[in-house]
C-alpha cells in the first residue's frame, strides 16, 4: 500500500469528527441551559462563567505542559492551595502591595515546580509519587501561612485581582487571554514548543538529537506551578478570604479539560485545553445555577473524561489503518 | 558476632528501625501518656483498617500501575452499607451490597485499564470522581448516622474484642497480611505480579495472561478498600461517611512507598505496608499528643514519602546497574 502525499495531507474523517462532535456538544449544552434557564448567558453571568473558565483553564494549561512532556502531575491543585494562601498572607499579614504580592506568589508557586522538576528529571524519581509528596509538603506549608484560620481580605485593592475591570472586562479574563496567548504562541510557533513535544514523544531520541531533556522537564513543572498559582489567587480573592483548601477540588476538572483537548485535537495542546476547560466549566456552573447539587457536576465531568479518553483512542486506530499491514504487525510485537 | 550484626543491620530491616526510632522518640518526648498500653492499643487500632485499605493498592503499585480510587471505594461502600442497613435489611445483606458497590468501581477501573488501555492514573481518577459523586448523592452530602444500631452488627462486636494489648482489628490486619504475603511470596501468581512490575511485555510474551492478573489485582484492591471502608463505618465513625477525605489518599501512598523499604528492598509489599501503617499512626498519635501544629503532621508525612521514594529509586538503579544506558537515563 503506497502512501501518497494526498492521503497524508488529507485530514481523515476520524480526525475531523471529534472537533465537530465536541463543538456540537458545546453548542447543545449552551442551548439546553439557555432553554431551561432564561437567565443563563446574560451579560452578568457571561462574566461569571468566563471567570470560572479563566481559573480552570490556567491551572489546566499548566497541567497540559506536564502532560505534553509525558509526565503526570498530582500536585498542582495542592500547590494552588498553598500559593493562594501565601498570596493572602503576603498582603494582609505582611502588608505588601498587591502587585508585588502577585509576583512573589508566582515565584513561590514556581519554586515548588522547581523542586518536583529537579527530583523527576535529574534524580529520576517516579513522577506520580514525587508530585504527591511535594504536593503534600506544599499543602502542609500552606497551613504555616494561615495558621489553620481564614485570612480575610477586607480592602478592595486586595481583591482587585479577581474583581478589577479593564474596559468593563474583569481582570482574570485579561490575564487568561494574555498568558494563554503567550503559551499558545510558544507551543505552536516556536522551537521550544517543538522541543516539548519531542521530549513527550520519546525522551531518548530527544536526548540523542541534542535537546536538554532535564531542562525541558524542569521548565514544564515550573510552568505548571506558576500557572496554578494564578488559579489559587483568583479563587481566594473571589471568595474574599484565604483558605488552604480552596483549589483542592479542581484536580478532576483539570484532567478532564486536558483530555478533552487531547481527544479533540489529537494531541495535548493549549487550544484544546482551553476548549475542554470551557466545556467542563460551563457544565459545572450551569448545573450549579440550576441549583442541582455540586456532585452531579462532578459525576458529569467524570463521565466526560471517560468519553474523551475513548474518543482519543480513535486516533490510534486511525493511524494504524494508514500504516502498511506488515509494519503495523511489527509495531504490535 | 560480626555476622550476626551484619544480618541484623541489613538494609531490608531499615523500616523496623525507623519504627523503633519513631516510637522511642515519642516515648521520650511525650512520656508515659504515649507508651501506656491504652495508647498503644489506640495506635494499633488506628493502623489496622488503614493497612487493610492499602494491601490491594500495594499489589497494584508493585505491578507498575496505580490506583487512586481507594478512598472513594471506601466511602461508596460506607454510604451504601449505611443506606441499605437503615432501610431495614439485615447487616449481612447491607455489607454484601456495600462491598458489591466497591467491587463494581474496581471492576470499572479494571475494564478501563485492561480493555481500553487507558493510563491507570487517569482512569482511576475518573472512576474515583464518579464514585465519590455517587457516594455523596446517596445522602446529599451529609453523613448517615448509625450510632444507635451499628453495635448490633457482628463486625462491631468482633472489633471490640482485644487480646492483650492487641485489638482484634489489628489481628485481622495481620492475618490478612500473612495470607497475602503467602500469595505474594510463595505462589506463581505473586511472582507474576512482580514480573509485570519489572517488564510487562516480557511477561506477556512468555505466555502469561496478564489481563487476568491485572483484573484480579484491581478487584483485590477494590475488595480491600471496601472491607476497610466497612470497618471504618461500623467501628470508627459509626456512620456512613460520604467523603473519606484527602488524608487517606496521602497516607495511603506514603504507606505503600515507605513499605517498599522493608523486606523486599525497592518493591512494594504487604508486610512493609503494615509496618508503615503503624509508623504513620505512631507519628500522627505522637504529634497530636505533643500538641504539634497540624501542618507538622502533613509536612512530616510528605518528607517521609519523599525519603521513601528516594531510597527505592536509588536501590532500584543500583540493582539494575548502568550498563547499556545512555547518559540521560
Is B170 within a domain?
yes
Select from B133, B301, B302 the Cβ nearest to the Cβ of A298: B133
User: Domain total for chain B?
Assistant: 1
User: Which pLDDT band, with edges at 50, 70 and 90, does A323 fall under?
Assistant: very low
Would you call B70 an interface residue with chain A, using a CB distance cutoff of 8 Å?
no
Q: CA-nearest residue of chain B to A304?
A: B126
Would you call A89 an interface residue with chain B, using a CB distance cutoff of 8 Å?
no
Q: Give the number of A-B residue pairs with CB atoms closer than 8 Å.
A: 130
For residue A107, count other CB atoms closer than 10 A to its CB: 14
Is A327 within a domain?
no
| Torsion (CA) A229, A174, A271, A30 in degrees, nearest 10 | 110
Using the predicted structure, report yes or no on whether residue A325 has a pLDDT greater than 50.
no
Is B308 within a domain?
yes
Cβ contact, residue pair B129, A301, below 8 Å:
yes
* Distance, CA of A37 to chain centre: 29
Select from B130, B295, B296 the Cβ nearest to the Cβ of A299: B130
Would you call A255 an interface residue with chain B, using a CB distance cutoff of 8 Å?
yes
Name every chain A residue with its beta carbon within 8 A of the beta carbon of B132: 295, 298
How far is residue B112's CA from residue B104's CA, in Å, rounded to a whole number? 12
Of A98-112, B172-186, B224-238, give the lowest mean pLDDT range.
B224-238
Under 8 Å between Cβ of A66 and A73: yes
* Category of B88 on φ-ψ map: left (φ > 0), alpha (ψ -120 to 50) or beta: left
User: Which pLDDT band, with edges at 50, 70 and 90, does A195 fall under?
Assistant: very high
In this prediction, residue B1 carries a pLDDT of 67
Would you call B127 an interface residue with chain A, using a CB distance cutoff of 8 Å?
yes
In this prediction, residue B245 carries a pLDDT of 65
Burial B113-123 (b: 16+ CB within 10 A, else e): bbeeebbbbbb
In this prediction, residue B60 carries a pLDDT of 92
Under 8 Å between Cβ of B288 and B300: no
Using the predicted structure, report yes or no on whether residue A322 has a pLDDT greater than 70.
no
How many CA within 13 A on the CB side of residue B197? 21
Using the predicted structure, report yes or no on whether residue A79 has a pLDDT greater than 90.
yes
Range of the domain at A56: 13-319
Could you tell me the three cell numbers for B168? 482484634
Using the predicted structure, report yes or no on whether residue A110 has a pLDDT greater than 90.
yes
Q: CA-nearest residue of chain B to A122?
A: B328
Under 8 Å between Cβ of A84 and A235: yes
H-run or E-run covering A242:
strand A241-242
Of A19-28, B246-255, B258-267, give the lowest mean pLDDT range.
B258-267
Under 8 Å between Cβ of A85 and A244: yes
Is A39 within a domain?
yes
- For an interface test with B, the pick among A69, A75, A129 (most B C-beta atoms closer than 10 Å) comes out as A129
Span B11-27, pLDDT tens digits: 677 788 888 888 888 88
Would you call A125 an interface residue with chain B, using a CB distance cutoff of 8 Å?
yes
Is B140 within a domain?
yes
Angle at B140 between CA A38 and CA B132, to 5 degrees: 100
Name every chain A residue with its beta carbon within 8 A of the beta carbon of B114: none
Under 8 Å between Cβ of B314 and B263: no
User: Domain total for chain A?
Assistant: 1
* Distance, CA of A253 to chain centre: 9
Distance from the Cα of A93 to chain B's closest Cα (Å) equals 19
Distance from the Cα of B314 to chain A's closest Cα (Å) equals 9
pLDDT (average), residues A280-288: 85
Using alpha carbons, list the distances in angstroms from residue A199 to A68, A131, A191, A311: 8, 19, 12, 24
Q: Where residue A143 sits, what CATH number does that domain have?
A: 1.10.3470
Of the candidates A293, A292, A261, which has an alpha carbon nearest to the alpha carbon of residue A279?
Answer: A261
In this prediction, residue B156 carries a pLDDT of 76
Name the more confident of B324 and B198: B198
Span B39-83, pLDDT tens digits: 888 888 888 889 999 999 999 998 888 888 999 999 999 999 988
Is B1 within a domain?
no
Cβ contact, residue pair B250, A302, below 8 Å:
no
| Torsion (CA) A50, A55, A57, A58 in degrees, nearest 10 | 130
Long-range contacts from B95-101, C-beta under 8 angstroms, 24+ separation: B95/B155, B95/B230, B98/B226, B98/B229, B98/B230, B98/B233, B99/B223, B99/B226, B99/B227, B99/B230, B101/B76, B101/B77, B101/B226
User: Which pLDDT band, with edges at 50, 70 and 90, does A177 fall under?
Assistant: very high
In this prediction, residue A327 carries a pLDDT of 45
Range of the domain at B251: 10-320
Using alpha carbons, list the distances in angstroms from residue B81 to A160, B43, B84, B98, B234: 47, 26, 5, 5, 10
Could you tell me the three cell numbers for A72? 503526570
How far is residue B232's CA from residue A303's CA, in Å, rounded to a whole number? 28
Q: What is the DSSP letter of A11?
A: P
Complex ipTM > 0.85: no
Q: Where residue B102 sits, what CATH number does that domain have?
A: 1.10.3470
Burial A38-59 (b: 16+ CB within 10 A, else e): eebbeeeeebebbbbbbbbbbb
Is B4 within a domain?
no
pLDDT (average), residues B104-130: 88
Of the candidates A199, A262, A191, A192, which has an alpha carbon nearest to the alpha carbon of residue A70?
Answer: A199
Name the more confident of B102 and A286: B102
Under 8 Å between Cβ of B121 and A128: yes
In this prediction, residue A17 carries a pLDDT of 75
pLDDT (average), residues A282-305: 82
Of the candidates A100, A74, A66, A67, which has an alpha carbon nearest to the alpha carbon of residue A86?
Answer: A100
How far is residue A41's CA from residue A44's CA, in Å, rounded to a whole number? 8
Bridge partners of A151, per DSSP, are: A242
Percent pLDDT > 90 in chain A is 33
Q: CA-nearest residue of chain A to B204?
A: A333
Is A265 within a domain?
yes
User: Which pLDDT band, with edges at 50, 70 and 90, does B137 fall under?
Assistant: confident
Is A68 within a domain?
yes
Under 8 Å between Cβ of A278 and A53: yes
pLDDT (average), residues A61-75: 91
Q: Is A112 exposed, middle or buried (0-12, 13-18, 19+ CB in 10 A)?
A: buried
Of A256-265, A320-329, B256-265, give the lowest mean pLDDT range.
A320-329
* Category of B263 on φ-ψ map: left (φ > 0), alpha (ψ -120 to 50) or beta: left
Is A65 within a domain?
yes
Under 8 Å between Cβ of B143 and B242: yes
Is A2 within a domain?
no
Span A199-258, pLDDT tens digits: 988 888 888 888 899 999 999 999 999 999 999 999 999 888 888 888 888 888 898 899
Using the predicted structure, report yes or no on whether residue A1 has a pLDDT greater than 80.
no
Would you call A293 an interface residue with chain B, using a CB distance cutoff of 8 Å?
yes
Would you call A213 an interface residue with chain B, using a CB distance cutoff of 8 Å?
yes
In this prediction, residue A222 carries a pLDDT of 95
Amino acid at each position: 500500500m503506497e502512501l501518497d502525499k494526498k492521503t497524508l495531507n488529507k485530514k481523515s474523517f476520524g480526525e475531523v469528527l471529534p472537533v465537530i462532535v465536541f463543538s456540537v456538544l458545546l453548542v447543545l449544552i449552551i442551548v439546553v441551559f439557555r432553554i431551561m434557564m432564561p437567565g443563563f448567558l446574560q451579560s452578568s453571568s457571561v462574566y461569571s462563567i468566563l471567570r470560572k473558565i479563566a481559573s480552570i483553564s490556567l491551572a489546566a494549561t499548566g497541567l497540559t505542559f506536564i502532560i505534553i512532556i509525558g509526565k503526570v502531575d498530582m500536585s498542582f491543585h495542592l500547590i494552588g492551595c498553598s500559593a493562594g494562601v501565601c498570596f493572602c498572607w503576603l498582603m494582609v499579614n505582611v502588608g505588601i502591595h498587591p502587585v508585588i504580592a502577585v509576583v512573589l506568589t508566582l515565584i513561590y508557586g514556581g519554586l515548588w515546580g522547581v523542586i518536583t522538576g529537579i527530583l523527576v528529571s535529574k534524580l529520576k524519581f517516579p513522577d506520580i509519587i514525587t508530585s504527591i509528596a511535594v504536593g503534600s509538603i506544599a499543602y502542609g506549608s500552606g497551613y504555616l501561612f494561615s495558621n489553620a484560620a481564614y485570612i480575610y481580605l477586607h480592602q478592595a485593592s486586595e481583591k482587585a485581582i479577581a474583581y478589577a475591570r479593564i474596559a468593563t472586562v474583569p481582570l482574570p479574563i485579561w490575564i487568561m487571554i494574555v498568558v494563554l496567548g503567550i503559551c499558545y504562541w510558544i507551543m505552536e510557533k516556536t522551537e521550544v514548543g517543538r522541543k516539548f513535544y519531542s521530549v513527550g514523544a520519546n525522551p531518548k531520541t530527544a536526548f540523542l538529537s541534542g535537546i536538554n531533556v532535564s531542562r525541558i522537564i524542569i521548565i514544564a513543572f515550573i510552568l505548571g506551578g506558576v500557572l496554578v498559582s494564578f488559579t489559587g489567587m483568583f479563587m481566594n480573592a473571589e471568595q474574599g478570604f484565604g483558605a488552604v483548601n480552596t483549589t483542592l477540588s479542581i484536580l478532576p476538572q483539570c484532567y478532564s479539560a486536558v483530555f478533552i483537548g487531547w481527544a479533540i485535537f489529537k494531541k495535548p495542546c493549549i487550544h484544546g485545553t482551553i476548549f475542554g476547560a470551557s466545556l467542563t466549566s460551563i457544565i459545572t456552573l450551569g448545573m450549579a445555577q440550576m441549583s442541582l447539587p455540586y456532585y452531579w457536576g462532578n459525576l458529569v465531568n467524570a463521565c466526560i473524561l471517560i468519553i474523551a479518553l475513548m474518543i482519543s483512542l480513535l486516533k490510534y486506530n486511525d493511524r494504524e489503518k494508514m500504516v502498511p499491514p506488515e509494519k503495523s504487525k511489527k509495531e504490535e510485537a | 558476632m560480626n555476622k550476626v550484626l551484619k544480618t541484623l543491620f541489613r538494609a531490608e530491616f531499615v523500616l523496623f528501625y525507623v519504627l523503633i526510632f519513631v516510637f522511642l522518640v515519642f516515648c521520650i518526648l511525650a512520656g508515659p501518656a504515649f507508651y501506656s498500653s491504652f495508647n498503644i492499643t489506640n495506635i494499633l487500632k488506628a493502623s489496622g483498617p488503614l493497612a487493610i485499605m492499602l494491601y490491594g493498592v500495594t499489589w497494584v503499585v508493585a505491578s507498575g500501575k496505580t490506583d487512586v480510587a481507594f478512598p472513594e471505594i471506601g466511602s461508596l461502600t460506607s454510604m451504601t452499607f449505611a443506606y441499605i442497613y437503615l432501610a431495614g435489611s439485615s447487616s449481612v445483606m447491607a455489607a454484601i451490597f456495600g462491598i458489591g458497590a466497591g467491587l463494581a468501581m474496581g471492576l470499572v477501573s479494571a475494564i478501563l485499564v485492561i480493555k481500553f488501555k487507558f493510563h491507570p492514573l487517569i482512569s482511576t481518577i475518573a472512576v474515583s470522581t464518579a464514585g465519590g459523586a455517587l457516594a455523596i448523592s446517596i445522602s446529599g452530602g451529609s453523613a448517615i448516622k448509625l450510632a444507635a444500631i451499628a453495635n448490633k452488627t457482628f463486625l462491631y462486636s468482633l472489633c471490640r474484642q482485644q487480646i492483650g494489648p492487641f485489638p482484634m482489628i489489628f489481628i485481622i490486619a495481620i492475618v490478612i497480611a500473612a495470607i497475602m504475603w503467602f500469595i505474594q511470596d510463595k505462589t506463581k501468581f505473586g511472582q507474576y505480579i512482580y514480573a509485570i512490575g519489572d517488564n510487562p511485555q516480557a511477561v506477556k510474551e512468555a505466555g502469561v495472561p496478564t489481563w487476568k492478573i491485572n483484573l484480579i489485582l484491581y478487584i483485590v484492591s477494590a475488595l480491600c478498600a471496601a472491607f476497610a471502608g466497612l470497618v471504618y463505618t461500623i467501628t470508627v465513625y459509626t456512620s456512613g461517611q460520604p467523603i473519606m477525605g484527602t488524608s487517606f489518599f496521602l497516607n495511603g501512598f506514603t504507606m505503600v512507598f515507605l513499605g517498599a523499604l522493608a523486606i523486599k528492598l525497592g518493591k512494594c509489599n504487604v508486610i512493609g505496608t503494615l509496618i508503615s501503617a503503624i509508623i504513620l499512626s505512631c507519628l500522627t498519635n505522637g504529634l497530636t499528643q505533643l500538641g504539634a501544629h497540624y501542618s507538622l503532621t502533613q509536612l512530616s508525612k510528605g518528607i517521609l514519602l519523599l525519603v521513601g521514594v528516594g531510597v527505592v529509586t536509588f536501590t532500584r538503579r543500583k540493582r539494575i546497574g548502568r550498563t547499556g544506558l545512555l547518559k540521560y537515563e
